[in-house]
Amino acid sequence: MKVLGLTGGIGMGKSTAADLFRARGVPVVDTDELARQLVEPGQPALVEVLAAFGPHVAGPDGRLRREELARLVFANPTARKRLEHILHPRIRARWRAQVENWRAQARPLAVVVIPLLFETKAEAELDTTACVACSAATQRQRLLARGWSPEQIAQRLQAQWPIEKKIAAADYLIWTEADLDLHATQIDRILRLLS
């Protein structure tokens, strides 16, 4: 089985690319989704997060106030590293387990979506990588449309490699500036090359 690591900048189309792989029968595990599962009420990681950052990052219902935690960690690199220390090993263990499950099923290909793929050196465990990217102007438009402030955008971008560096490190580029049909055509081309 081949394992493709899918990465890219915030708002550049990773989720859309993942959906296109799924639509073609390729199993996909998204580490952002794993991160959300890990901080559900009752999870040990949530207990650690609250111990590290204080009870105010949870709401009255006991659920993590993700926007409050993001505000804290993206404004402070030390705090961000602390959060990553809590979550990243657990996330990696979960996606590895999922990949092994698919390997046992003799799946020919699987995709792991990892926004910080190169930053966490996960490429060493993957067969190939693809970077989803668009222009900085389009990225900014998409993030503003999500309701992000210019400050939030700048903080998130500082927490990741520049997109040019990710593109250079990846085996494949999926350019999402155009329409969905072109996006899909690029996914199909990668699938042909990997089959």
Which range, of 29-33, 74-78, 90-94, 189-193, averages the lowest pLDDT?
Answer: 74-78
Calculate the alpha carbon distances from 95 to 32, 125, 161, 176 in Å. Answer: 11, 11, 22, 25
Structure confidence at residue 195 (pLDDT)? 87
Q: How many CA atoms lie within 13 A of 13 on its CB side?
A: 26
Number of structural domains the chain divides into: 1
CA–CA separation, 73 and 76 (whole Å): 5
Structure confidence at residue 159 (pLDDT)? 85
The tokens describing 6, both together, are: 């899918």
Whether the per-residue pLDDT at 158 is higher than 90: the answer is no
pTM: 0.92
28-81 pLDDT, tens digit per residue, is 999 999 999 999 999 999 999 999 999 999 999 999 999 899 989 988 999 999
- Only one residue has tokens 């990052």, namely 57
Give the domain extent around 92: 2-194
CATH number where 167 lies: 3.40.50.300
Angle subtended at Cα 111 by Cα 19 and Cα 84, rounded to the nearest 5 degrees: 100
